[in-house]
Amino acid sequence: MCYTVIMNNFDFKNPTQIIFGKDSEKRTGVLAAEYGAKKVLLHYGGGSIKKTGLYDRVTASLKAAGLEVFELAGVKPNPRLSLVREGVSLCREHSIDLILAVGGGSVIDSAKAIGIGAVYEGDVWDFYTGKAEPQGSLKVATILTIPAAGSESSNGSVITNEDGGLKRPCGSDFIYPVFSICNPELAFTLPVSQIANGTADIFAHMHERYFTNVKQVDLTDRLIEAGMRNIIHHAPRLLDNPEDYDTWAEVMWTGTIAHNNLLDTGRVGDWGSHDIEHELSGMFDIAHGAGLAIIIPAWMKYVYKHDVELFAQFAERVFFVERDYVNPWKTALEGIYRLEQHFKRMGMAIRLSEVGITDDSFDEMAEKATAGDSAALGNFVKLDKTAIIKIFKLAE
């Protein structure tokens, strides 16, 4: 294959202030006030923050800074549009000026959707169907409790519309949080399944950027390889030592860097696996990371022949596979196999059948993913409906 695409021109700006480390949530109130907040909407999920005591610490910090606090709880994994609409109404009714998301990607994405929805006259779902683009947002800040989605410093939000089971992303520079508090100690209470899902998603954000048709991007190749190695090395350690601060610090910071767009610079990411996975989450409500651990190896098996050399490089540098120079495809396939073994070691399913998804739904998911076979997914290799069904079959 002959490549002519060299490092792309780029603008890079990530405006989110990251406050990283032990006890950093104690600074919440002061930071929110510094960002001009007077009325804060505290947004959170199903109650983990109450069990861990974080809720008490955060509300105390906000009140000590003289801020008026309103609340909206109940964000579910794969955050729902109906709660976003409720949040939009609350923000308008009380003239909220900062939304504080305390939780994981679902809570943060819900807060981001409320932020862009509250300053828009139409329906916030318009931003997720492409009917409109955000023109502004209320300020959003986050306290991260699960290293995974990278939403704490990303310009994206992913929302599920219960009506039709559609999970769709929206990207806009108005969506970056103003600040994010990242204390690795807050992850100590995560169950093993969420450790696995979260670290799979972090890996996936680097995978999506790594497989590109752009050449002469050695620096970002190697930064991504380092991040992938860091996850492969540290994630399994958390299974036996879920309260190991140093390991969580490695994983949490890798999770932020994996998705703050630094690793995109000069290259064009793929994102086909993410788009395919959104159909699994949208239709079957499975966790995003769990879906990715199934889809990514299948996607790799489908596309590796497009650039065997890049897959062999991935195998050699990320999984230390000895390079077979005569048969580089063997090296490539060994790398894919070792990635599957990593996910299995994390206790994850790597086949659709293991999570109860059968070929009855392949056609419908592929149809939805491609809007009736009218829009191809991915950039590394363009995937039409037929290709996506083949990937589902490889993941069966």
Q: Are strands 139-144 and 39-44 parallel, antiparallel or unpaired?
A: unpaired
Asked if residue 33 lies in contact with residue 66, where contact means CB atoms within 8 angstroms, the answer is yes
* One residue of 115, 117, 134, 150 binding ligand NZQ per CB under 6 A: 150
Q: Which of 291, 258, 249, 285 is nearest to 273 (CA)?
A: 291
- x/- mask, ligand NZQ, residues 178-197, rule CB under 6 A, reads --------xx-xx---x--x
Give min distance, CB of 153 to ligand NZQ, in A. Answer: 9
Q: Return the one option of ligand NZQ, Zn ion, none that residue 100 interacts with (CB less than 5 to 8 A, by type).
A: none
Q: Which of 264, 276, 158, 252 is nearest to 206 (CA)?
A: 264
Q: Under rule CB under 6 A, which residues in 239-268 are in contact with ligand NZQ?
A: 259
The span from the CA of 83 to the CA of 350, in Å, is 32
Cα 250–Cα 320–Cα 396 angle in degrees, nearest 5:
85
The span from the CA of 161 to the CA of 233, in Å, is 36
Residue 274 binding ligand NZQ, by CB under 6 A: yes
The span from the CA of 318 to the CA of 315, in Å, is 6
Give min distance, CB of 327 to ligand NZQ, in A. Answer: 34
Residue 279 binding Zn ion, by CB under 5 A: no
* One residue of 16, 142, 151, 256 binding ligand NZQ per CB under 6 A: 151
Residue (106 or 313) nearer to ligand NZQ, CB: 106
Compute the Cα dihedral for 321, 327, 332, 337 and give only its sign. Answer: negative
The span from the CA of 358 to the CA of 352, in Å, is 7
Q: Under rule CB under 6 A, which residues in 281-340 are in contact with ligand NZQ?
A: 288-289
Residue (176 or 311) nearer to ligand NZQ, CB: 176
Residue 154 binding ligand NZQ, by CB under 6 A: yes
Compute the Cα dihedral for 375, 385, 340, 317 and give only its sign. Answer: negative
Residue 152 binding Zn ion, by CB under 5 A: no
The span from the CA of 228 to the CA of 199, in Å, is 10
Residue 201 binding Zn ion, by CB under 5 A: yes
* One residue of 97, 109, 221, 275 binding ligand NZQ per CB under 6 A: 109
Number of residues binding to ligand NZQ, judged by CB under 6 A: 36
Q: Return the one option of Zn ion, ligand NZQ, none that residue 115 interacts with (CB less than 5 to 8 A, by type).
A: none
Cα atoms in the 13 Å half-sphere on the side-chain side of 152: 28
Q: Return the one option of ligand NZQ, Zn ion, none that residue 227 interacts with (CB less than 5 to 8 A, by type).
A: none
Instruction: Give start and end residues of each alpha helix (H) in 285-327.
Output: 288-303, 308-319
Residue 156 binding ligand NZQ, by CB under 6 A: yes
- x/- mask, ligand NZQ, residues 36-65, rule CB under 6 A, reads ---------xxxxx----------------
Asked if residue 116 lies in contact with residue 137, where contact means CB atoms within 8 angstroms, the answer is yes
Q: Under rule CB under 6 A, which residues in 199-228 are in contact with ligand NZQ?
A: 201
Asked if residue 110 lies in contact with residue 150, where contact means CB atoms within 8 angstroms, the answer is no
What does the block give as tokens for 172? 């806009």
Residue 185 binding Zn ion, by CB under 5 A: no
- Name the site residues for Zn ion (rule: CB under 5 A): 201
Site residues (vs ligand NZQ, CB under 6 A): 45-49, 77-79, 103-107, 109, 145-146, 148-151, 154, 156-158, 186-187, 189-190, 194, 197-198, 201, 259, 274, 288-289
